[in-house]
Chain A
C-alpha cells in the first residue's frame, strides 16, 4: 500500500510539474504579446506625434506665409504706386523663400539629406556640428572604421534614435561636453555617448519612461524595440555613459 502511495505521489508530482510549466509558458506568451502590443501602440503614438509636428509646422508657418502672400497679391492687383508694388513683390519673395526653407526643413527632418547621400556617421557629424554651433555643449564624434548600414530604413531609425538620445541628454543631463564613439562590435553597431552631465541608470530611465507623459523617452525605447537593439545607461565616478548596440540586420 505504502509503495503504491509513493508511486502515485511521484506521478502526481510529474503531472503537477507539467501543468505548472504549461501555465508558465502561457504566461510568458501573454506577456510577450502584451509587450509587442505596447511597442506597437508606442510606435503609432510616436508616428502620430511626428505627423502632428509636421502638420503644425505646415499650418502655422507655411500656411501663414501663404495667407500673407495672398493678401500681398490682392494689394498688388489694387495698387498703382510702383514703390508700393516693388515693396510688396520684395516681401512676397522673402515669404516664398522662407516657405521653401520651412518645407525643406520639414523634408530634411523626415529624410535628412546628409544621411541619404553620405550615411549615418556623416549625418551624426552634421548633427554634432549644429549642436556645437548652438553652444549647448561641446560635442565630438569618433569613428575609427567607417560603418555601413545597407538597410536605409534601419539607418534612418538609428539616426532618429541617436538624435533623440542626444536631445534628452542635453535637455535633462545638461552636460558641458559629450563624446560619441561609433564602432563595429562583433557584427553589431555600437554607439557610446559619454558625457559629464547628470548620471542615471537604465532601471531609473525605464521607470521615468513608464511614468512620463512626454514621448521623448518612450520614443527611445520604442525605437530600441523596433530595431531589436539594446541600450544601457551606466556611470563611473567621472562620466555617464549611454551605450547602444544594434544589429545591422
Chain B
C-alpha cells in the first residue's frame, strides 16, 4: 500500500466517522426540532445505518451497491419533503411532491438497465441535479424575499448549504463513477477518497450546524 493509499484510507475513515456528528447533534437538540427537521433526523439516522452496513459489506468484499439504490430513493424523498415543508409556507410547492414518484420511476429504470450489482450513477446524478436545483432556488428565494434577519443563524441556511456542497460537488463523480470503476479503478479510488470524502465531511458538519441552530435563541 502506498502513502497515497493510506492517506485516502484515513480520509475516507474520517469522512465515515463525520456521519455520526449530525446524528449526535440532532439527538442533543431533539426536543427543539420542528416537523421538517425531524425528517432530516430520520434521514441522518438511516444514513448511519447505511454507512455501517456498506462499510461492513465492503470490508468483506461483498457488493453493497443494492443498499445505495434504496438509500438514494429514501434520501431524495426525505429531502424533497423537507424542501416542500419550507416552501409551502410561502407558495403552493406541490410540484416538489409530484417529482418524487417521477424520481422513483427513474430509479426503477436505472435498476432495470444496470441491475443491483452496479452503482446507481444515473439515479444519483438525477438526484444531485434536482436537489442542487432545490438548493439554488432556496438561496435565490431567500435573497429576493429577505425573510430572515440574520441568515447565518438560520438552520435552513446551513442545511441548504450542506445539500448544495454535497450534491452539486459530487455530481460529476456520481455521473462517471460506473465508467471509472470499469476503466480506471485508481482514478476512481482517488476521486472517491478525495473529492467525495471532503464533500461528505463538509456535508455532515454543515448538517450538524444546521441542527444546532434549531435551538431557540
B165 at the interface (CB under 8 A from A): yes
Known: A10-B164, A13-B139, A18-B151. A3 touches B198 (CB 8 A): yes
Task: Give the number of chain A interface residues (Cβ < 8 Å).
Answer: 14
**Cβ–Cβ contact B143 & A16, under 8 A:** yes
**Chain B residues engaging chain A, CB cutoff 8 angstroms:** 139, 142-143, 146, 149, 151-152, 157, 161, 164-165, 168-169, 172, 195, 198-199, 202
**Cβ–Cβ contact A2 & B139, under 8 A:** no
Cα distance, A81 to B202, chains bound together (Å): 115
A/B interface sample: 24 pairs, CB < 8 A: A2-B168, A2-B195, A3-B165, A3-B169, A3-B195, A3-B198, A3-B199, A6-B165, A6-B168, A6-B169, A7-B202, A9-B164, A10-B161, A10-B165, A13-B139, A13-B143, A14-B151, A14-B152, A14-B157, A17-B142, A17-B143, A20-B146, A21-B146, A21-B149
Mark A15-48 against chain B: 1 for CB-CB distance below 8 A, else 0: 0111011001000000000000000000000000
Q: What chain A residues lie within 8 Å of B157 (beta carbons)?
A: 14
| Chain B residue nearest in CB terms to A3 | B169
Q: What chain A residues lie within 8 Å of B151 (beta carbons)?
A: 13-14, 17-18
Q: What chain A residues lie within 8 Å of B164 (beta carbons)?
A: 6, 9-10
| Chain B residue nearest in CB terms to A13 | B139
**Cβ–Cβ contact A7 & B165, under 8 A:** yes
Q: What chain B residues lie within 8 Å of A3 (beta carbons)?
A: 165, 169, 195, 198-199, 202
Q: What chain A residues lie within 8 Å of B152 (beta carbons)?
A: 14
Cα distance, A20 to B148, chains bound together (Å): 11
**Cβ–Cβ contact A17 & B202, under 8 A:** no
| Chain B residue nearest in CB terms to A20 | B146
Q: What chain B residues lie within 8 Å of A13 (beta carbons)?
A: 139, 143, 151
Q: What chain B residues lie within 8 Å of A2 (beta carbons)?
A: 168-169, 172, 195
Q: What chain A residues lie within 8 Å of B146 (beta carbons)?
A: 17, 20-21, 24
Q: How far is the CB of A32 from chain B (nearest CB, A)?
A: 17
Q: How far is the CB of B191 from chain A (nearest CB, A)?
A: 11
In chain A between 51 and 102, which residues have their CB closer than 8 angstroms to a CB of chain B? Answer: none
